[in-house]
Each structure stands twice: as C-alpha cells, then as structure tokens.
Amino acid sequence: MRDRMVHRGPDDAGLIDGGNVLLAHRRLAIRDPSPMGRQPMATPDGRFHLVYNGELYNEPEIRLELTRQGAVFGSGCDAETVLLALAAWGSSGLSRLRGMFALALWDVAAGTLLLARDPLGIKPLHVWRGRVGGHAEIAFASEIPALFVHPAVSAAPDPVTLSSYLTTIRVTLGRRTMFRDITTLMPGESITVDLSSESLGESRRSFARIDAAEECEVSDEHVREVVRQSVGRHLVSDVPTCCLLSGGLDSTILAKVAMDRAGGLTTYCSGDPSADPERSDLAFARRVSRWLGSEHVEVPITGESFLGRWTELLALGGVPLSTPNQVAIFEVAAAMRSRGHIVTLSGEGADELFAGYVGPTLACLDFVGTGQPDAGLFHVDANAWAPRSAKAALLAPTWASDAEDDRVLIETYRSLFDACVDPARADCGVLSHLRFQRGVNLEGLLRRLDAMTMLAGVEGRTPLADVEVARMADSLPVRRRFVDNSEADWPAERRAEAARSKVALRDAFAPELPEEIVRRPKASFPLPFEGWVSRLSGALRRSEFAREVFLPGALEVVSRDPSGLWRLSWPMINLAMWGDRWWGGLSEV
C-alpha cells in the first residue's frame, strides 16, 4: 500500500562513506536530471562534499560569478553551483543564496561539517546528537523518520512540544520537535560542527535577515515586477511544471503570471465535491481556469479518502498533521505526479507577508490599542486550539508536570516576538505583530507544503514566499498591507467584511484579474473535517498512548462529541495515532 500511495523512490541515490563521516542522498531530480547531478557531490580536489535539498533561484548570477573566478562546471545542476559557491566563499556564501534549501557540507581539510537551512524555513533539517560507545555522534536528515534508522536515536516524545502542539497545532517549538532528542534548525540558521573535537563542538549563527532596513513607498508597478520576477525564477526547471489553483487571489496571481511567461499551463485544485457548487474552491478554480485557458485537473476529497490518508500520512511523515488540508495537498500532489508533473507552484506566503489573515490581524490591532504588554502571551492564547486553561482537565498529572505548564511555549513566543520589534519604524506596534505572524505561521505552512508534496514525489515551490518578495513586503507601511475600515461598535463579522487585507497585492494585480477574484475572501482549501473527524473518535478510546497522556474524563468527553469539540479532537486524535505509531506503549519503555 505504501509503495502504491507514495512516490518516495528517488530518481537516483548516492552514498559516500568517509570513515567517520557518512553522507547519503535520495534525489528528486529537477535541474539537470542526468547522472551528473547525482549527490553526494564533491569538488574535483575531493575537499568538499555536499548533500543538498532545494532549489537555487539566483543560480545564473552565482554561476556566472564563479565562472569568472575560474570555476569549471561539469553539470547544469544547481547543487554544483551551491557546492562551488560554498567552497569558494565558505559559510559566508550562505547569505548569497536566494532559494530554498537544507544542506550539509563536509570540509575534509578543515574537519568541519556545515549544516544550514534557508531563511524562510521552506526546507526542514533535523538533527540528533548523542554518544555511542563512548564517542559523540551527530546525525541529520530532512525527514525525521530517516533518523530512526540509527539504532541510538530514540522515538521518545517531548512532553513540552506535545503540550505546545495541543495549543498551536505546530509540530515544532523553536528548535524542539515532537521527539525529545531531535532538534530542528531555525530558518536562516547554520551550524558548524568541529569533527576533529572529541565532543563534536559546534557554533551557530543566523546568516540572513528578512526584515527591511526602512519603510518605503512602493508603487503598484514595483510590487508587480518583484512578484513577476520571482515567479519567473521559480519556473526554471528541467521537468514538467504545473500550478496549484484554489481560485483565490494568491494562486490566481501565480497562475496568471506563469501563463504569461511560460504559455501552456496545467492547473490543479482539490476540494470537497459536495460543497457549494458556486462558492467552493473547486468552483472558483474552474472559473479561473476557463479565464486563463489552462488545462485543469480537479481532485475530489471525500470523507473516506480524508480519513484513510490522514492515518497513512501521519505514519509516513513522522509527526502529527498540523492542519486538515494537508490531506488535500497530498492528494493533489499525488495526482500531479501520476500525470507527470514533478514541480508545482503554490501560493503560500502571501497571507504572512502581506497581512492576509483578517480576524487575527484585527485582534492584533485591538491588542496594540489596549497598550497591554506581553504580546508573546497574547499570541499563545489568541489562536489556541486547546487553551492553556484547559490543560489541567486534559493532561495526566505526570505529562502536565513534564510539560512545565507551557512555560517553554510562552517564553519561546515572547522571545520570538521581541525579535520582531523595530522601534525605528513609526508603525512598530502593528508591524511587530505582522512580523511575528510571518515568522511563526509561515514556517509551519511551508513545512506542511514541503512534507506533503515531497511524500508524493513533487517539489512544491512558493514564489510569494521568496526572500526578495519578503523584503519588499516588509518595507511596505502597514496601511499598504492591511486597512481596518470599521467603527468601534461594529460586530466582528461586519468588521471583517469591511477590512482590506493584502492591500498592495490586490491593488497591484487588480487591473489584470477578474474582479470577483480580487474581492474574494480567503478560503484556504476548506474541508468539512469537523464532521469527518467523528469517524475516528474511536482512536482516542483504543489508543494506549492517549490513555497514558490524557485524563480519562477528557478522553470520554471528547470521544462523545468529536465534531462539536473539533478544536480538541483534531490535535488529540493526531497525538493518539502518532504516539501509538512511533513510540507504542509507555509502560514498555
């Protein structure tokens, strides 16, 4: 079943055994699919060895500069450009890479291992450190399940992150993952490991900042040009490329620009076929496709397919699902792969960069207006699935104690928010909240997209989640991203209808798009999972892991009404199935 469902087999694979260093790579061949692009890849002198997952969007400029410096290329693969760039410029070359990547570079002569993750966190990178036979070891991988091949890596859950997941439905908390002994690199972070030291000492640094140096008045034409250029760079591929199309503003912009630049385009949409035939994603995408003239493929999601894929994807990915629409992303990516499309464009990023979340942004504006401190705590509580106040009634005493009353979650959010504050900006208060949304929300969404598309053997690219687009968006005054047109006494629904989100993006592309698309509110792969989730409520009663983690009363209450209590049942059922799959009975450990 697994081999039929998931296209995990590589186009090619490689391995290098350097004695104390072992590098392995499974390649989804996109640029120069010939054997010349196979990894691990080494420099001609054998000093540097690279494994790299990603795409380099400023590859032509970097390749030209390296060629002028005397570099000789043997392939058309961007991995070779990354390898030679780091060989020439060292870790300082990371800040010159425009793209998505997780990479490891072994410098044989210096005895160092460089690990790095792209500035927006599009590609994940996980790390384990421990001692085996009295010696320090480090292991790393793009996917957590790969680490469990190492006999010393434990699948023991992290109670702190587990409790955080209940509240945030995010599978990481800072550098912590759902597993106690496995960490993740932060976006834009690198680690240099000294392989010659007995302790494998390391140094960390952040090599890229997205925040704009100053506020700028940016014209609509400039916004269009930055987005168009990004789409053009993301279209470069040596394999067939397509586009996700929900019929919303962001995906329609991408599809329109891609069609203008590349001609024929296939678009894909997934959704619930029983939804409103006039207002659903499927309906809007169908209308946009006719307007564009694209070949269009619809991938229906039913209750049965949703439940089956949910359990399978949770087991394959190694972590609970963050959002229900991950199932839709995988289903549509699997359809792409079956039709020969290996690369897809997707609209992730626009909401985080251009203030597309109306309700949460209005709540941030209200919070700023109160003058209250502790914005980090505000963000913990404002969008909670399982509120912190409910944990005493949810978690068994031992797990509640080990979760440290969510102190790590609160302090992490406080620290992340403090890093977003820029007193030099006139709109610092609201801007800080928008930057926080970008930093926390975006990493999770990009991780979700990458995990689901890669499981299907498809590379998901995000032209709107691009460092140059991000810097341009961050330079905009807040009023060019979000406008609250409401009066003080208006109810929440009316306030939301009156607000203008993603102002610069809407204004810039309004002349080129159908008016109904420019005005359409955000939808984001809507699925009626609240009703579907009830069919798996038995998982809570059957799960040995759930019985250890949750109080009996909580299991009973949620199991009786999973649809009505969906904000609790979704993370609890995910944790139940995840724990049983990856750790099993706690009493056996």
Ordered DSSP codes for 93-141:
GGGG--EEEEEEEEETTTTEEEEEE-TT--S--EEEEEEETTEEEEEEE
Higher per-residue pLDDT: 11 or 363: 363
Answer yes or no: is pLDDT of 430 > 60: yes
φ/ψ of residue 349, rounded to 5:
115, -35
For residues 329-346, average pLDDT:
97
Residue 190, SS3 per DSSP: strand
Query: What does the pLDDT read at residue 17?
Result: 64
Question: Which pLDDT value is given to residue 6?
Answer: 38
* Residue, of 12 and 154, whose pLDDT is higher: 154
Mean pLDDT (the chain) is 92
The predicted structure's pLDDT at residue 212: 86
C-alpha closest to that of 349 among 219, 490, 461, 510: 461
Give residue 531's pLDDT: 84
pLDDT above 70 coverage of the chain, percent: 95
Taking residues 55-67, what's their average pLDDT?
Answer: 97
Can you say how many angstroms the Cα of residue 290 is from the centroid of all Cα atoms in its chain? 30
For the stretch 277-329, pLDDT in tens is 777 889 999 999 999 999 999 999 998 889 889 989 988 899 999 999 899 99
CA-closest candidate to residue 149, choices 22, 51, 28: 22
Establish how many alpha carbons lie within 13 A of residue 249's alpha carbon, considering only the half-sphere containing its beta carbon: 24
Cα(473)–Cα(481) distance, integer angstroms: 8
Digit-coded pLDDT (tens) for 65-87? 999 999 999 999 999 999 999 99
The average pLDDT across 515-538 equals 81
Strand partners, 266: 295
Would you say residue 153 has pLDDT above 90?
A: yes
Q: Answer whether residue 523 shows pLDDT above 80.
A: no
How is residue 223 written in tokens? 């916004």
Q: What's the whole-model pTM score? A: 0.93
For 27, the token pair is 């390649």
Count Cβ neighbours within 10 Å for each residue of 49-86 and write b for 16 or more, e otherwise.
bbbbbbbbbbbeebbeebeeeebeeebbbbbbbbbbbb
Q: At what angle do helices 407-418 and 375-382 cross, to 10 degrees?
A: 120
Please state the rounded mean pLDDT for residues 91-120: 97
Tell me the pLDDT band of 8, cut-offs 50, 70 and 90.
Answer: very low
Three-state secondary structure string covering 204-217: EEECCCCCCCCCCC
Higher pLDDT, 583 or 340: 340
pLDDT of residue 13: 67
For residues 27 and 6, what is the distance between their CA atoms, to the nearest angstrom? 15
Percent of the chain as helix, strand, coil, to the nearest 5: 50, 15, 35
- Among 19, 25, 47, 202, smallest CA distance to 127 is for 202
**Which H or E element spans position 54?**
strand 48-56
In this prediction, residue 3 carries a pLDDT of: 26
Residue 317 to residue 577: CA distance in whole angstroms: 12
What percentage of the chain exceeds 90 in pLDDT?
81
Confidence category of residue 534, pLDDT binned at 50, 70, 90: confident
Residue 271 bridge partners (DSSP): 300
Residue 525: predicted pLDDT: 56
- 267's enclosing H/E stretch is strand 266-271
Please check whether residue 378 is in contact with residue 367, taking contact to mean a CB–CB distance below 8 angstroms. yes
Residue 2 pLDDT: 25
- The vertex-317 CA angle with 569 and 19, nearest 5°, equals 145
176-215 confidence digits (pLDDT tens): 999 999 999 999 999 999 999 999 999 999 998 888 878 8
Q: Is 70 helix (H, G, I), strand (E, B) or coil?
A: coil
Phi, psi of 9 (to 5 degrees): -65, 135
Q: Quick one: pLDDT at residue 72?
A: 95
Q: For the segment 13-49, what is each residue's pLDDT rounded down to a tens digit?
A: 676 766 689 999 998 999 999 999 999 999 999 999 9
Q: Is 376 helix (H, G, I), strand (E, B) or coil?
A: helix
pLDDT value of position 1: 21
The stretch 396-415 carries a mean pLDDT of 96
CB burial of residue 439 (10 Å; 0-12, 13-18, 19+): buried
**Hey, what are 433's tokens?**
């909240």
Q: Is 246 helix (H, G, I), strand (E, B) or coil?
A: coil
How far is residue 283 from each of residues 233, 244, 272, 336, 513, measured CA to CA in Å?
30, 14, 11, 19, 17
Give the type of residue at 485.
Answer: N
Calculate the dihedral angle through the C-alpha atoms of 471, 170, 331, 570, rounding to the nearest 10 degrees: -140
Strands 189-194, 12-17: pairing is unpaired
Tokens (6 digits) for 517: 């698309």
The predicted pLDDT at position 12 comes to 61
Using DSSP bridges, classify how beta strands 135-141 and 126-132 pair: parallel, antiparallel or unpaired.
Answer: antiparallel
430 touches 479 (CB < 8 A):
no
Q: Calculate mean pLDDT across residues 386-413.
A: 96
pLDDT at 587 over 80: no
* Residue 331, CA atoms < 13 Å, CB-side half-sphere: 24
In order of their start, the domains of the chain are 2-206 (3.60.20.10), 220-350+442-478 (3.40.50.620), 530-589 (no CATH)
